[in-house]
Amino acid sequence: MTKRNEIDALRNLSGDIWNVAVDEYAKGYLKRRDLLKYATLIGLTGFAASQGLGFSRARAAAAGGTVRVGLGQPTKAIDPVTVTDPASIGVLSQVGEYLILDDPKDGLQPKLALSWEADETAKRWTFKLRPGVKFHDGRTVTAKDVVASFERLVDPNSGSSALSAYKGILSKGGAKIVDDETVAFDLDQSNSNFPFYVSSDVYNAVILPADYAGDFEKNFNGTGPFKLESFRPKQGASFVRNPDYWGDKALPDRIEIKFFDDEQAQVVALQAGQLDVIPSTTRLELAIEGNPNFKLLSVQASSHDVVHLRTYQAPFTDKRIRRALALTLDREAIVKGLLKGRAIVGNDTPFAPIFPSADPSVPQRKQDIAEAKRLLAEAGVPNGFEVTLTTERAYDIPDYAVIIQNFAKKAGIDIKLNVLPQDAYYGSATFGSSPWLDSNLGITDFGHRGTPDIFLNATLKSDGAWNAAHFKNADYDALLVEYGRARDLQTQRIAAGKIQTLLLDETPEIISYFSQYSRIASAKVEGVRFTAISHLLLDRVSFVQA
Protein backbone atom coordinates (compact mmCIF):
# COMPACT_ATOMS: atom_id res chain seq x y z
CA MET A 1 0.00 0.00 0.00
CA THR A 2 1.37 3.44 -0.89
CA LYS A 3 1.47 6.10 1.81
CA ARG A 4 -1.27 8.03 -0.03
CA ASN A 5 -3.56 4.98 -0.02
CA GLU A 6 -2.71 4.34 3.63
CA ILE A 7 -3.63 7.92 4.55
CA ASP A 8 -6.94 7.65 2.66
CA ALA A 9 -7.71 4.48 4.62
CA LEU A 10 -6.76 6.09 7.92
CA ARG A 11 -9.18 8.98 7.33
CA ASN A 12 -12.11 6.56 7.35
CA LEU A 13 -11.50 5.44 10.92
CA SER A 14 -12.90 8.27 13.00
CA GLY A 15 -13.86 11.93 13.07
CA ASP A 16 -12.22 15.32 12.77
CA ILE A 17 -9.87 14.93 15.77
CA TRP A 18 -8.29 11.82 14.29
CA ASN A 19 -8.07 13.36 10.81
CA VAL A 20 -6.05 16.32 12.11
CA ALA A 21 -3.48 13.82 13.41
CA VAL A 22 -3.55 12.00 10.06
CA ASP A 23 -2.85 15.35 8.36
CA GLU A 24 0.22 15.80 10.54
CA TYR A 25 1.38 12.29 9.67
CA ALA A 26 0.86 12.98 5.95
CA LYS A 27 2.98 16.14 6.18
CA GLY A 28 5.76 14.36 8.06
CA TYR A 29 5.20 16.20 11.35
CA LEU A 30 4.22 12.99 13.12
CA LYS A 31 5.92 9.60 12.98
CA ARG A 32 3.75 6.56 12.29
CA ARG A 33 4.35 5.09 15.75
CA ASP A 34 3.34 8.42 17.36
CA LEU A 35 0.22 8.44 15.20
CA LEU A 36 -0.66 4.96 16.46
CA LYS A 37 0.05 6.00 20.05
CA TYR A 38 -2.36 8.90 19.53
CA ALA A 39 -4.95 6.39 18.33
CA THR A 40 -4.79 4.68 21.72
CA LEU A 41 -5.19 8.01 23.53
CA ILE A 42 -8.49 8.78 21.81
CA GLY A 43 -9.69 5.21 22.20
CA LEU A 44 -8.92 3.59 18.84
CA THR A 45 -7.31 0.69 20.66
CA GLY A 46 -8.48 -1.99 18.24
CA PHE A 47 -6.95 -0.16 15.29
CA ALA A 48 -3.64 0.40 17.07
CA ALA A 49 -3.43 -3.27 18.01
CA SER A 50 -4.17 -4.31 14.41
CA GLN A 51 -1.23 -2.18 13.26
CA GLY A 52 1.24 -3.95 15.54
CA LEU A 53 1.05 -1.74 18.62
CA GLY A 54 0.51 -3.45 21.93
CA PHE A 55 2.19 -6.17 23.85
CA SER A 56 2.38 -9.44 22.03
CA ARG A 57 3.06 -12.73 23.66
CA ALA A 58 6.72 -13.60 23.81
CA ARG A 59 8.10 -16.01 21.22
CA ALA A 60 7.64 -19.68 22.08
CA ALA A 61 9.37 -20.21 25.39
CA ALA A 62 9.33 -22.89 28.01
CA ALA A 63 7.17 -21.91 30.96
CA GLY A 64 8.44 -22.42 34.46
CA GLY A 65 11.17 -21.39 36.81
CA THR A 66 11.57 -18.70 39.44
CA VAL A 67 12.56 -15.13 38.58
CA ARG A 68 14.69 -13.68 41.38
CA VAL A 69 14.53 -9.92 41.81
CA GLY A 70 16.45 -7.46 43.95
CA LEU A 71 14.75 -4.23 45.00
CA GLY A 72 15.42 -1.47 47.48
CA GLN A 73 13.70 -1.35 50.83
CA PRO A 74 10.04 -0.18 50.79
CA THR A 75 9.78 3.03 52.78
CA LYS A 76 6.54 2.03 54.55
CA ALA A 77 3.77 -0.54 54.47
CA ILE A 78 2.86 -1.43 50.88
CA ASP A 79 -0.55 0.07 50.17
CA PRO A 80 -1.54 1.03 46.59
CA VAL A 81 -3.33 4.14 47.87
CA THR A 82 -0.30 5.61 49.63
CA VAL A 83 2.69 4.02 47.87
CA THR A 84 5.42 6.31 46.50
CA ASP A 85 8.71 4.37 46.43
CA PRO A 86 10.12 2.35 43.50
CA ALA A 87 10.49 -0.88 45.48
CA SER A 88 6.82 -0.94 46.45
CA ILE A 89 5.76 -0.16 42.88
CA GLY A 90 7.88 -3.10 41.71
CA VAL A 91 6.10 -5.39 44.17
CA LEU A 92 2.64 -4.08 43.22
CA SER A 93 3.40 -4.81 39.56
CA GLN A 94 3.15 -8.54 40.21
CA VAL A 95 -0.39 -8.47 41.57
CA GLY A 96 -2.08 -5.17 40.77
CA GLU A 97 -3.40 -3.78 37.49
CA TYR A 98 -4.71 -0.52 36.06
CA LEU A 99 -7.47 0.38 33.65
CA ILE A 100 -4.69 1.17 31.16
CA LEU A 101 -0.98 0.41 31.00
CA ASP A 102 1.27 3.19 29.67
CA ASP A 103 3.87 1.14 27.85
CA PRO A 104 7.09 3.08 27.07
CA LYS A 105 7.25 1.53 23.61
CA ASP A 106 3.63 1.35 22.48
CA GLY A 107 1.76 3.94 24.52
CA LEU A 108 -1.59 3.33 26.18
CA GLN A 109 -2.57 -0.35 26.26
CA PRO A 110 -5.96 -1.71 27.39
CA LYS A 111 -5.82 -3.68 30.62
CA LEU A 112 -8.92 -3.70 32.84
CA ALA A 113 -10.51 -1.19 30.46
CA LEU A 114 -11.23 -2.40 26.93
CA SER A 115 -11.94 1.01 25.40
CA TRP A 116 -12.52 4.68 26.23
CA GLU A 117 -13.86 7.82 24.62
CA ALA A 118 -14.50 11.47 25.44
CA ASP A 119 -17.46 13.69 24.76
CA GLU A 120 -17.03 16.78 22.58
CA THR A 121 -15.78 18.87 25.50
CA ALA A 122 -13.23 16.30 26.76
CA LYS A 123 -14.79 16.86 30.17
CA ARG A 124 -16.62 13.49 30.36
CA TRP A 125 -14.73 10.30 29.63
CA THR A 126 -16.43 6.90 29.42
CA PHE A 127 -14.60 3.59 29.89
CA LYS A 128 -15.85 0.12 28.99
CA LEU A 129 -14.49 -2.54 31.36
CA ARG A 130 -13.12 -5.94 30.44
CA PRO A 131 -15.81 -8.50 31.41
CA GLY A 132 -15.14 -11.49 33.63
CA VAL A 133 -11.97 -10.26 35.35
CA LYS A 134 -11.58 -11.68 38.86
CA PHE A 135 -9.71 -10.53 41.92
CA HIS A 136 -7.41 -13.09 43.49
CA ASP A 137 -10.11 -13.82 46.09
CA GLY A 138 -12.46 -14.95 43.31
CA ARG A 139 -14.80 -11.96 43.18
CA THR A 140 -15.58 -10.42 39.77
CA VAL A 141 -14.42 -6.86 39.06
CA THR A 142 -17.31 -4.48 38.36
CA ALA A 143 -17.78 -0.76 37.86
CA LYS A 144 -18.46 -0.49 41.59
CA ASP A 145 -14.87 -1.54 42.34
CA VAL A 146 -13.44 0.87 39.77
CA VAL A 147 -15.45 3.84 41.03
CA ALA A 148 -14.57 3.04 44.65
CA SER A 149 -10.87 2.82 43.72
CA PHE A 150 -10.84 6.32 42.24
CA GLU A 151 -13.11 7.82 44.87
CA ARG A 152 -10.56 6.57 47.41
CA LEU A 153 -7.69 8.20 45.54
CA VAL A 154 -9.32 11.64 45.33
CA ASP A 155 -10.66 11.63 48.91
CA PRO A 156 -8.65 14.21 50.92
CA ASN A 157 -9.17 12.07 54.04
CA SER A 158 -7.79 8.83 52.59
CA GLY A 159 -4.09 9.65 52.79
CA SER A 160 -3.89 9.11 49.03
CA SER A 161 -0.56 9.88 47.42
CA ALA A 162 -2.40 10.60 44.16
CA LEU A 163 -4.17 13.73 45.44
CA SER A 164 -1.58 16.02 43.88
CA ALA A 165 -1.96 14.30 40.49
CA TYR A 166 -5.75 14.65 40.47
CA LYS A 167 -5.97 18.16 41.94
CA GLY A 168 -8.00 20.33 39.59
CA ILE A 169 -8.67 17.33 37.32
CA LEU A 170 -10.88 14.88 39.21
CA SER A 171 -12.70 15.42 42.50
CA LYS A 172 -14.68 13.21 44.84
CA GLY A 173 -17.95 12.28 43.16
CA GLY A 174 -16.47 12.59 39.68
CA ALA A 175 -16.30 8.83 39.03
CA LYS A 176 -19.72 7.33 38.30
CA ILE A 177 -21.21 3.89 37.61
CA VAL A 178 -23.02 3.74 34.27
CA ASP A 179 -23.61 -0.02 34.41
CA ASP A 180 -21.69 -3.02 35.74
CA GLU A 181 -19.15 -2.79 32.92
CA THR A 182 -19.11 0.97 32.23
CA VAL A 183 -17.61 3.85 34.22
CA ALA A 184 -17.82 7.57 33.47
CA PHE A 185 -15.53 10.30 34.78
CA ASP A 186 -16.85 13.86 34.99
CA LEU A 187 -13.77 16.06 35.23
CA ASP A 188 -13.29 19.36 37.00
CA GLN A 189 -12.12 20.81 33.70
CA SER A 190 -11.59 19.58 30.15
CA ASN A 191 -8.55 17.38 29.68
CA SER A 192 -7.74 15.70 26.38
CA ASN A 193 -5.03 13.56 28.02
CA PHE A 194 -7.21 12.13 30.78
CA PRO A 195 -6.63 8.44 29.89
CA PHE A 196 -3.08 8.88 31.20
CA TYR A 197 -4.57 9.82 34.60
CA VAL A 198 -6.24 6.42 34.96
CA SER A 199 -3.23 4.54 33.63
CA SER A 200 -0.10 3.21 35.28
CA ASP A 201 1.25 6.76 35.05
CA VAL A 202 -0.60 7.36 38.32
CA TYR A 203 0.93 4.37 40.06
CA ASN A 204 -1.57 4.52 42.90
CA ALA A 205 -4.48 3.86 40.51
CA VAL A 206 -4.44 0.07 40.99
CA ILE A 207 -8.00 -1.27 40.85
CA LEU A 208 -8.96 -2.67 44.27
CA PRO A 209 -12.17 -4.21 45.66
CA ALA A 210 -14.84 -1.69 46.63
CA ASP A 211 -14.61 -2.84 50.25
CA TYR A 212 -10.81 -2.47 50.45
CA ALA A 213 -9.90 -1.57 54.04
CA GLY A 214 -6.23 -0.69 53.75
CA ASP A 215 -4.87 -4.13 54.63
CA PHE A 216 -3.11 -4.85 51.33
CA GLU A 217 -0.09 -6.61 52.84
CA LYS A 218 -2.44 -9.20 54.34
CA ASN A 219 -3.29 -10.82 50.98
CA PHE A 220 -2.11 -8.55 48.09
CA ASN A 221 -5.57 -8.98 46.55
CA GLY A 222 -5.39 -7.69 42.98
CA THR A 223 -6.20 -8.90 39.47
CA GLY A 224 -2.65 -9.47 38.18
CA PRO A 225 -0.83 -12.47 36.68
CA PHE A 226 0.70 -13.51 40.03
CA LYS A 227 -0.79 -14.21 43.46
CA LEU A 228 0.81 -13.84 46.88
CA GLU A 229 2.73 -16.81 48.22
CA SER A 230 4.42 -15.12 51.17
CA PHE A 231 5.39 -11.65 52.35
CA ARG A 232 8.12 -10.86 54.88
CA PRO A 233 8.38 -7.17 55.86
CA LYS A 234 11.91 -5.77 55.42
CA GLN A 235 13.00 -9.06 53.82
CA GLY A 236 11.03 -9.82 50.67
CA ALA A 237 8.05 -11.49 49.04
CA SER A 238 7.21 -14.34 46.71
CA PHE A 239 4.38 -14.74 44.24
CA VAL A 240 3.06 -17.69 42.21
CA ARG A 241 1.36 -17.87 38.82
CA ASN A 242 -2.32 -16.91 38.97
CA PRO A 243 -4.23 -19.82 37.31
CA ASP A 244 -7.37 -17.69 36.93
CA TYR A 245 -5.73 -14.71 35.24
CA TRP A 246 -7.91 -13.11 32.56
CA GLY A 247 -5.07 -12.80 30.02
CA ASP A 248 -2.22 -15.01 28.86
CA LYS A 249 -0.93 -17.09 31.73
CA ALA A 250 2.42 -16.00 33.12
CA LEU A 251 5.43 -17.95 31.93
CA PRO A 252 7.35 -18.13 35.23
CA ASP A 253 6.08 -20.34 38.05
CA ARG A 254 7.21 -17.92 40.74
CA ILE A 255 8.58 -14.45 41.38
CA GLU A 256 10.89 -14.13 44.35
CA ILE A 257 11.73 -10.61 45.53
CA LYS A 258 14.40 -9.70 48.04
CA PHE A 259 14.68 -6.25 49.64
CA PHE A 260 18.11 -4.64 50.05
CA ASP A 261 19.24 -1.71 52.17
CA ASP A 262 22.26 -1.11 49.95
CA GLU A 263 22.36 -0.97 46.15
CA GLN A 264 25.91 -2.31 46.01
CA ALA A 265 24.72 -5.49 47.74
CA GLN A 266 22.25 -5.98 44.90
CA VAL A 267 24.92 -5.96 42.20
CA VAL A 268 27.10 -8.32 44.27
CA ALA A 269 24.16 -10.74 44.52
CA LEU A 270 23.55 -10.42 40.77
CA GLN A 271 27.21 -11.14 40.01
CA ALA A 272 27.08 -14.16 42.32
CA GLY A 273 24.14 -15.60 40.39
CA GLN A 274 21.68 -15.11 43.27
CA LEU A 275 19.50 -12.58 41.40
CA ASP A 276 18.20 -12.23 37.84
CA VAL A 277 17.04 -8.59 37.78
CA ILE A 278 17.96 -5.46 39.76
CA PRO A 279 17.36 -1.70 39.42
CA SER A 280 20.06 0.33 37.70
CA THR A 281 22.10 3.41 38.57
CA THR A 282 25.08 4.90 36.78
CA ARG A 283 27.39 3.48 39.45
CA LEU A 284 25.98 -0.04 39.10
CA GLU A 285 26.15 0.15 35.31
CA LEU A 286 29.90 0.70 35.58
CA ALA A 287 30.17 -2.46 37.70
CA ILE A 288 28.75 -4.68 34.92
CA GLU A 289 30.04 -2.76 31.89
CA GLY A 290 31.59 -5.07 29.30
CA ASN A 291 30.55 -8.25 31.15
CA PRO A 292 28.67 -10.57 28.75
CA ASN A 293 26.91 -12.27 31.67
CA PHE A 294 24.74 -9.17 32.20
CA LYS A 295 22.76 -6.76 30.08
CA LEU A 296 21.55 -3.21 30.55
CA LEU A 297 17.92 -2.70 29.51
CA SER A 298 16.76 0.89 28.96
CA VAL A 299 13.75 2.91 27.84
CA GLN A 300 13.68 6.63 27.11
CA ALA A 301 11.63 8.46 29.71
CA SER A 302 10.39 11.88 30.70
CA SER A 303 12.09 11.45 34.10
CA HIS A 304 14.06 14.53 35.08
CA ASP A 305 15.80 16.27 37.95
CA VAL A 306 14.21 19.69 38.12
CA VAL A 307 16.02 22.72 39.58
CA HIS A 308 13.47 25.06 41.12
CA LEU A 309 14.19 28.75 41.65
CA ARG A 310 11.94 30.29 44.28
CA THR A 311 10.47 33.17 42.36
CA TYR A 312 9.18 35.09 45.39
CA GLN A 313 12.47 35.15 47.30
CA ALA A 314 15.68 37.07 46.54
CA PRO A 315 17.70 36.79 44.41
CA PHE A 316 15.26 34.92 42.18
CA THR A 317 12.51 37.53 42.22
CA ASP A 318 14.12 38.90 39.04
CA LYS A 319 13.61 36.64 36.03
CA ARG A 320 16.85 37.93 34.50
CA ILE A 321 18.75 36.35 37.35
CA ARG A 322 16.83 33.09 36.90
CA ARG A 323 17.63 33.07 33.19
CA ALA A 324 21.28 33.86 33.90
CA LEU A 325 21.70 30.78 36.08
CA ALA A 326 20.02 28.62 33.44
CA LEU A 327 22.39 29.96 30.78
CA THR A 328 25.47 28.81 32.69
CA LEU A 329 24.67 25.12 32.11
CA ASP A 330 26.21 23.11 29.27
CA ARG A 331 23.40 20.62 28.78
CA GLU A 332 25.15 18.48 26.17
CA ALA A 333 28.15 18.09 28.50
CA ILE A 334 25.86 17.09 31.39
CA VAL A 335 24.15 14.40 29.28
CA LYS A 336 27.47 13.07 28.01
CA GLY A 337 29.38 13.23 31.29
CA LEU A 338 26.99 12.76 34.20
CA LEU A 339 24.51 10.51 32.39
CA LYS A 340 26.92 8.69 30.05
CA GLY A 341 24.78 9.68 27.07
CA ARG A 342 21.70 7.91 28.46
CA ALA A 343 19.45 10.97 28.35
CA ILE A 344 18.21 13.68 26.00
CA VAL A 345 18.75 17.41 26.42
CA GLY A 346 16.00 19.39 28.14
CA ASN A 347 14.88 22.95 27.53
CA ASP A 348 13.72 24.16 30.97
CA THR A 349 10.10 23.05 30.50
CA PRO A 350 8.40 19.71 31.26
CA PHE A 351 7.82 19.15 27.54
CA ALA A 352 10.21 16.28 26.88
CA PRO A 353 10.95 15.69 23.18
CA ILE A 354 9.23 12.30 23.46
CA PHE A 355 5.85 14.02 23.97
CA PRO A 356 4.03 14.45 20.62
CA SER A 357 2.44 17.66 21.93
CA ALA A 358 5.81 19.38 22.46
CA ASP A 359 6.48 22.22 20.01
CA PRO A 360 9.88 21.46 18.43
CA SER A 361 10.12 24.94 16.90
CA VAL A 362 10.77 26.60 20.28
CA PRO A 363 14.52 27.46 20.33
CA GLN A 364 16.76 25.25 22.50
CA ARG A 365 18.50 27.10 25.33
CA LYS A 366 22.29 26.67 25.25
CA GLN A 367 25.16 27.68 27.49
CA ASP A 368 26.01 31.38 27.08
CA ILE A 369 28.22 32.71 29.85
CA ALA A 370 28.56 36.15 28.28
CA GLU A 371 24.78 36.57 28.12
CA ALA A 372 24.47 35.28 31.70
CA LYS A 373 26.92 37.95 32.90
CA ARG A 374 25.10 40.63 30.92
CA LEU A 375 21.78 39.68 32.50
CA LEU A 376 23.30 39.70 35.99
CA ALA A 377 24.75 43.18 35.42
CA GLU A 378 21.42 44.41 34.05
CA ALA A 379 19.70 43.02 37.15
CA GLY A 380 22.10 44.92 39.43
CA VAL A 381 24.42 42.07 40.49
CA PRO A 382 27.38 42.38 38.10
CA ASN A 383 29.65 40.47 40.48
CA GLY A 384 27.18 37.62 40.95
CA PHE A 385 25.62 36.53 44.23
CA GLU A 386 25.66 33.80 46.86
CA VAL A 387 22.89 31.25 47.25
CA THR A 388 22.38 27.86 48.87
CA LEU A 389 21.22 24.89 46.82
CA THR A 390 19.36 22.33 48.94
CA THR A 391 18.76 18.85 47.59
CA GLU A 392 18.52 15.13 48.32
CA ARG A 393 21.21 12.49 48.67
CA ALA A 394 19.83 10.16 46.01
CA TYR A 395 20.68 8.82 42.57
CA ASP A 396 23.06 11.12 40.61
CA ILE A 397 21.65 14.28 42.16
CA PRO A 398 24.58 15.18 44.48
CA ASP A 399 26.95 14.95 41.49
CA TYR A 400 24.55 17.06 39.43
CA ALA A 401 24.54 19.68 42.20
CA VAL A 402 28.33 19.91 42.05
CA ILE A 403 28.18 20.31 38.26
CA ILE A 404 25.68 23.18 38.60
CA GLN A 405 27.89 24.75 41.26
CA ASN A 406 30.92 24.65 38.94
CA PHE A 407 29.10 26.00 35.89
CA ALA A 408 27.56 28.83 37.93
CA LYS A 409 31.02 29.98 39.04
CA LYS A 410 31.78 30.91 35.43
CA ALA A 411 29.26 33.75 35.74
CA GLY A 412 30.29 34.72 39.29
CA ILE A 413 27.43 32.89 41.03
CA ASP A 414 28.59 31.29 44.30
CA ILE A 415 26.45 28.26 45.17
CA LYS A 416 26.76 26.55 48.55
CA LEU A 417 25.49 22.97 48.73
CA ASN A 418 23.16 21.56 51.37
CA VAL A 419 22.68 17.88 50.56
CA LEU A 420 20.19 16.17 52.88
CA PRO A 421 19.06 12.56 53.36
CA GLN A 422 16.13 11.88 51.09
CA ASP A 423 13.53 11.65 53.87
CA ALA A 424 14.77 14.89 55.43
CA TYR A 425 14.66 16.71 52.10
CA TYR A 426 11.03 15.81 51.44
CA GLY A 427 9.92 16.09 55.07
CA SER A 428 6.14 16.11 55.25
CA ALA A 429 5.95 17.24 51.60
CA THR A 430 3.83 20.24 52.60
CA PHE A 431 4.59 23.92 52.31
CA GLY A 432 6.14 25.33 55.47
CA SER A 433 7.64 22.05 56.64
CA SER A 434 9.58 20.62 53.71
CA PRO A 435 13.04 21.66 52.48
CA TRP A 436 11.89 20.49 49.05
CA LEU A 437 9.03 22.99 48.87
CA ASP A 438 10.55 25.74 51.01
CA SER A 439 14.16 26.00 49.81
CA ASN A 440 15.30 28.98 47.76
CA LEU A 441 17.05 26.78 45.23
CA GLY A 442 16.68 23.00 45.05
CA ILE A 443 16.89 19.88 42.91
CA THR A 444 14.10 17.29 42.97
CA ASP A 445 13.75 14.06 41.01
CA PHE A 446 10.52 13.45 39.11
CA GLY A 447 9.63 10.08 37.66
CA HIS A 448 8.33 9.41 34.18
CA ARG A 449 4.85 10.32 32.97
CA GLY A 450 3.43 9.64 29.51
CA THR A 451 2.15 13.20 29.21
CA PRO A 452 3.48 16.50 30.63
CA ASP A 453 0.12 17.34 32.23
CA ILE A 454 0.94 16.27 35.78
CA PHE A 455 4.25 18.16 35.75
CA LEU A 456 2.59 21.26 34.27
CA ASN A 457 -0.18 21.32 36.87
CA ALA A 458 1.50 20.09 40.03
CA THR A 459 4.87 21.87 39.77
CA LEU A 460 4.04 25.16 38.05
CA LYS A 461 0.35 26.01 38.39
CA SER A 462 -0.24 28.80 40.92
CA ASP A 463 -1.88 26.42 43.40
CA GLY A 464 0.14 23.36 42.40
CA ALA A 465 0.84 20.88 45.19
CA TRP A 466 4.51 20.55 44.14
CA ASN A 467 5.10 24.20 43.19
CA ALA A 468 8.49 24.55 44.91
CA ALA A 469 9.29 27.57 42.70
CA HIS A 470 6.24 29.36 44.19
CA PHE A 471 5.51 30.40 40.60
CA LYS A 472 2.27 32.31 40.31
CA ASN A 473 1.44 33.49 36.81
CA ALA A 474 -2.13 34.07 35.62
CA ASP A 475 -1.13 33.88 31.95
CA TYR A 476 0.44 30.48 32.55
CA ASP A 477 -2.64 29.20 34.40
CA ALA A 478 -4.84 30.32 31.50
CA LEU A 479 -2.60 28.54 29.00
CA LEU A 480 -2.97 25.32 30.99
CA VAL A 481 -6.73 25.52 30.46
CA GLU A 482 -6.19 26.14 26.74
CA TYR A 483 -3.83 23.18 26.54
CA GLY A 484 -6.25 20.90 28.41
CA ARG A 485 -9.16 21.81 26.13
CA ALA A 486 -7.22 21.14 22.92
CA ARG A 487 -8.87 18.16 21.22
CA ASP A 488 -6.26 17.45 18.54
CA LEU A 489 -2.48 17.36 18.36
CA GLN A 490 -2.13 20.46 16.20
CA THR A 491 -4.13 22.64 18.60
CA GLN A 492 -2.40 21.04 21.56
CA ARG A 493 1.03 21.80 20.08
CA ILE A 494 0.11 25.44 19.51
CA ALA A 495 -0.86 25.78 23.18
CA ALA A 496 2.28 23.89 24.21
CA GLY A 497 4.46 26.28 22.23
CA LYS A 498 2.96 29.23 24.11
CA ILE A 499 3.62 27.50 27.44
CA GLN A 500 7.19 26.61 26.47
CA THR A 501 7.91 30.18 25.36
CA LEU A 502 6.46 31.66 28.56
CA LEU A 503 8.46 29.28 30.78
CA LEU A 504 11.71 30.02 28.95
CA ASP A 505 11.12 33.72 29.54
CA GLU A 506 10.17 33.32 33.21
CA THR A 507 12.47 30.35 34.05
CA PRO A 508 10.93 29.22 37.35
CA GLU A 509 12.59 25.85 36.73
CA ILE A 510 15.68 24.47 35.02
CA ILE A 511 15.32 21.09 33.31
CA SER A 512 18.55 20.28 31.51
CA TYR A 513 17.87 16.63 30.67
CA PHE A 514 15.33 13.83 30.49
CA SER A 515 16.81 10.51 31.59
CA GLN A 516 16.53 6.99 30.34
CA TYR A 517 15.22 4.44 32.82
CA SER A 518 17.17 1.21 33.12
CA ARG A 519 17.28 -2.22 34.72
CA ILE A 520 20.18 -4.66 34.90
CA ALA A 521 19.44 -8.30 34.10
CA SER A 522 21.28 -11.57 33.85
CA ALA A 523 21.97 -12.63 30.27
CA LYS A 524 20.15 -15.86 31.17
CA VAL A 525 16.71 -14.23 31.25
CA GLU A 526 14.61 -12.85 28.41
CA GLY A 527 11.35 -10.92 28.33
CA VAL A 528 11.95 -8.52 31.24
CA ARG A 529 9.67 -5.53 30.69
CA PHE A 530 9.26 -2.40 32.78
CA THR A 531 7.92 1.11 32.72
CA ALA A 532 9.97 4.19 33.38
CA ILE A 533 8.04 4.77 36.59
CA SER A 534 9.29 1.58 38.32
CA HIS A 535 6.70 -1.01 37.30
CA LEU A 536 8.41 -4.36 36.77
CA LEU A 537 6.50 -6.69 34.42
CA LEU A 538 7.75 -10.26 34.69
CA ASP A 539 4.93 -12.39 33.29
CA ARG A 540 6.71 -12.88 29.93
CA VAL A 541 10.11 -13.81 31.36
CA SER A 542 11.74 -17.01 30.20
CA PHE A 543 15.16 -18.54 30.75
CA VAL A 544 17.79 -19.05 28.09
CA GLN A 545 18.68 -22.71 27.83
CA ALA A 546 22.40 -23.49 28.21
pLDDT tens digit sequence for 165-211? 898 899 999 999 999 999 999 999 999 899 999 999 999 999 999 99
Give the residue ranges of DSSP H helices in 361-416: 369-378, 397-409
Pairing of strands 386-392, 441-446: parallel
Q: How confident is the model at residue 55 (pLDDT cuts 50, 70, 90)?
A: very low
* CA 54/CA 46 separation, integer angstroms: 10
CB-based contacts of 183: which residues, under 8 Å, 6+ apart? 126, 127, 129, 143, 146, 147, 175, 176, 177
Task: Kindly tell me if the per-residue pLDDT of 54 is higher than 60.
Answer: no
pLDDT of residue 127: 97
Q: How confident is the model at residue 490 (pLDDT cuts 50, 70, 90)?
A: confident
Residue 491 within any structural domain of the chain: yes
CB-based contacts of 47: which residues, under 8 Å, 6+ apart? 13, 36, 39
* CA 298/CA 523 separation, integer angstroms: 15
The values of phi and psi at residue 193, to 5°, are: -105, 20
Nearest alpha carbon to residue 247 among 226, 268, 228, 232? 226
CA 390 remoteness from chain centre: 24
CATH code of the domain covering residue 276: 3.40.190.10
- Among residues 216, 241, 265, the one where a domain terminates is 216
Q: Are residues 149 and 107 in the same domain?
A: yes
pLDDT of residue 368: 98
Per the structure, the count of domains in the chain is 4
Q: Are residues 112 and 212 in the same domain?
A: yes
| End-to-end Cα separation, the chain, in angstroms | 43
Cα angle value 27/29/32 (rounded, 5°): 90
- Among residues 176, 194, 216, the one where a domain terminates is 216
Q: Are residues 501 and 528 in the same domain?
A: no
Residue 254 within any structural domain of the chain: yes
Q: How confident is the model at residue 46 (pLDDT cuts 50, 70, 90)?
A: low
Name residue 78's beta-bridge partners.
none
**Burial of 84 per CB tally in 10 Å (0-12, 13-18, 19+):** middle
Q: Are residues 185 and 328 in the same domain?
A: no
Q: Are residues 428 and 480 in the same domain?
A: yes
pLDDT of residue 376: 98
Q: Are residues 452 and 474 in the same domain?
A: yes
Q: Are residues 202 and 255 in the same domain?
A: no
Q: How confident is the model at residue 484 (pLDDT cuts 50, 70, 90)?
A: confident
* CA 66/CA 55 separation, integer angstroms: 22
Q: Are residues 424 and 357 in the same domain?
A: yes
Q: Mind listing the pLDDT tens digit for each residue in 338-368?
A: 998 999 999 999 999 988 899 999 999 999 9
Residue 422 within any structural domain of the chain: yes
Q: Mind listing the pLDDT tens digit for each residue in 427-462?
A: 888 899 999 999 999 999 998 888 898 899 999 999
Assess contact for 208 and 222: CB atoms under 8 A. yes
Q: Are residues 198 and 276 in the same domain?
A: no
Q: Are residues 353 and 385 in the same domain?
A: yes
Assess contact for 251 and 63: CB atoms under 8 A. yes
Residue 71 within any structural domain of the chain: no
CB-based contacts of 238: which residues, under 8 Å, 6+ apart? 229, 230, 254, 255, 256, 257
Q: Mind listing the pLDDT tens digit for each residue in 10-40?
A: 555 555 544 545 555 555 545 555 555 556 6
Nearest alpha carbon to residue 468 among 495, 444, 485? 444
* CA 545/CA 262 separation, integer angstroms: 31
Q: Are residues 359 and 401 in the same domain?
A: yes
Assess contact for 387 and 381: CB atoms under 8 A. no
Residue 167 within any structural domain of the chain: yes
Q: Mind listing the pLDDT tens digit for each residue in 122-145?
A: 999 999 999 999 999 999 999 999
- Residues 317-342: b if buried by 16+ CB within 10 A, e if exposed: ebbbbbbbbbbbbbbeebbeebbeeb
Assess contact for 242 and 250: CB atoms under 8 A. yes
Residue 73 within any structural domain of the chain: no
Task: For residue 472, give the DSSP letter.
Answer: -
Pairing of strands 66-71, 254-259: parallel
CATH code of the domain covering residue 119: 3.90.76.10
Residue 396 within any structural domain of the chain: yes
Collapsing DSSP states into helix, strand and coil, what is residue 343?
Answer: strand
Average pLDDT, the chain: 90
Most confident of the following: 6-20, 43-57, 72-86, 102-116: 72-86
CATH code of the domain covering residue 328: 3.10.105.10
Q: Which range marks the domain in which residue 272 is found?
A: 225-293+523-543
Q: What percent of the chain has pLDDT over 90?
A: 74
Q: Are residues 196 and 152 in the same domain?
A: yes
Residue 67 within any structural domain of the chain: no
